[in-house]
Amino acid sequence: MLPGRLPRTCNGMRAVIVSLAAGIAAAAVVVMSAQSPDVQKPPVFRSGIRTVSVYATVRDSDGRFAPDLARDEFEVRVGGHPQEIAVFSAESQPITVCLLLDMSGSVTHRLLRLRDGSLHFIKALTSADRARIGTFGAEISISPILTNDQAVLERVLREELWPGGATPLWGAVGAAVDSLAGESGRRVVLIISDGAASGTLVGYTAQAHGVIDRVIDGGLMLYSIGIRSHTLDSSDKDLAYLVDRSGGARFTLADDADLEQTFTRVAEELRRQYLIGFVPEAGLKGRQRIDLRVKRPGHRVQARREFTVEDSR
């Protein structure tokens, strides 16, 4: 880690972090004391049972979001066997996101566009969402600050971005995934890059296959926005493969495309996902394929394709 990079911002924000911690503690007290049956609660996963959560985007034949589907219009199969849908919600679910920005040397002339697009995405988050900023280039830096304070996130984006270096994509994605590993709920890594993977950094030697395993086993979603400045290579194909398997989406833009519009599309999609939970049958081990279908004609679903059965010992 080079001196004066992203973590330096964190050292100057001790008061902010203390304030956030106090707010979280206060919220916990409120939740523990709220026992009224009239209070609407978010979907609950049964204690002691491993419930697999799937966040699904559904579009109609014209590509428009379909927000009005009911529980019985979905079908979940694992290994060809139907699964009972134990948890269902069409309400917007909170997001925990790592916004991962390519800071390689080639991004220098795009830095302001990339920053402004990222600011647009941050402003689209709700008070229930949380985000952290990560960068990769001459170094890989993942901020320890995970917050819904837009002022803090905007300050990082305006003051802590330094382009330069190669494109250590897989090391950065691996670090971003690890930074969300201890979080619950819907976890997303949003990658913005203008180049193919190149170079590695000491301490960040992850390769595509290892990152794929960590994403699938952890149940995260990946979204990618690629600014096309090169011909397709194996790293593009690996990233596209991983994004698709995780249930996310990928956008490939021309160099002069409107980044803010694309960030808006990503935010809108994340707002319109269904939550579907099921309890896998006993005896399953290792990685399993999920087949999630929509019964309504002409509709297609975008969701994670696999999950890993946790060892219950």
pLDDT in tens, 150-185: 999 999 999 999 999 999 999 999 999 999 999 999
Q: So what's the pLDDT on residue 260?
A: 87
Lowest mean pLDDT among 57-71, 109-123, 234-248: 234-248
CA distances 123 to 84, 160, 287, Å, are: 37, 18, 37
18, pLDDT greater than 80: no
Q: What is the pTM of this model?
A: 0.81
Q: At 19, is the pLDDT very low, low, confident or very high (cuts 50, 70, 90)? A: very low
Other Cβ atoms within 10 Å of 29 Cβ, number: 9
Residue pair 290/76 in contact (Cβ under 8 Å)? The answer is yes
232, pLDDT greater than 90: no
Lowest mean pLDDT among 7-11, 76-80, 84-88: 7-11
Q: Which one has a higher pLDDT value, 206 or 131? A: 131
Residue pair 112/120 in contact (Cβ under 8 Å)? The answer is no
Length of the chain: 313
Q: So what's the pLDDT on residue 39?
A: 34
Domains of the chain (ranges; CATH) run 6-16+93-271 (3.40.50.410), 52-91+274-309 (2.60.40)
186, pLDDT greater than 60: yes
Q: At 233, is the pLDDT very low, low, confident or very high (cuts 50, 70, 90)? A: low
Summarize pLDDT for 46-82 with one digit per residue, the tens: 333 589 999 999 999 999 999 999 999 999 999 899 9
* Helix/strand/coil for 295: coil
In sequence order, the 6+-apart residues with CB closer than 8 A to the CB of 2 are 138, 139
Q: So what's the pLDDT on residue 22?
A: 39
266, pLDDT greater than 60: yes
Tell me, what DSSP letter sits at residue 147? B
Residue range 257-270: average pLDDT?
89
Lowest mean pLDDT among 98-107, 141-150, 252-261: 252-261
> Measured between alpha carbons, how far is 167 from 138 in angstroms, rounded to an integer?
8
> Measured between alpha carbons, how far is 224 from 4 in angstroms, rounded to an integer?
28
Residue range 244-255: average pLDDT?
89
230, pLDDT greater than 80: no
Q: At 259, is the pLDDT very low, low, confident or very high (cuts 50, 70, 90)? A: confident
> Measured between alpha carbons, how far is 195 from 32 in angstroms, rounded to an integer?
48
Residue range 198-219: average pLDDT?
88
Q: Which one has a higher pLDDT value, 201 or 21? A: 201
Number of helices (H) and strands (E) in the chain: give both, helices first.
8, 14
Question: Of 97, 286, 83, whose CA–CA distance to 186 is shortest?
Answer: 97
> Measured between alpha carbons, how far is 258 from 5 in angstroms, rounded to an integer?
28
Q: How far apart are the first and last CA of the chain?
A: 38
Residue pair 104/191 in contact (Cβ under 8 Å)? The answer is no
> Measured between alpha carbons, how far is 306 from 212 in angstroms, rounded to an integer?
11
Q: So what's the pLDDT on residue 159?
A: 92
116, pLDDT greater than 50: yes
Residue pair 287/44 in contact (Cβ under 8 Å)? The answer is no
Q: So what's the pLDDT on residue 221?
A: 96
Q: At 130, is the pLDDT very low, low, confident or very high (cuts 50, 70, 90)? A: very high
Lowest mean pLDDT among 11-20, 53-62, 99-108: 11-20
DSSP 46-89: PTTS-PEEEEEEEE-TTS-B-----GGGEEEEETTEEE-EEEEE
Q: Which one has a higher pLDDT value, 143 or 30? A: 143
Residue pair 58/69 in contact (Cβ under 8 Å)? The answer is yes
Q: So what's the pLDDT on residue 4?
A: 40
Report the chain's mean pLDDT, rounded to a whole number.
83
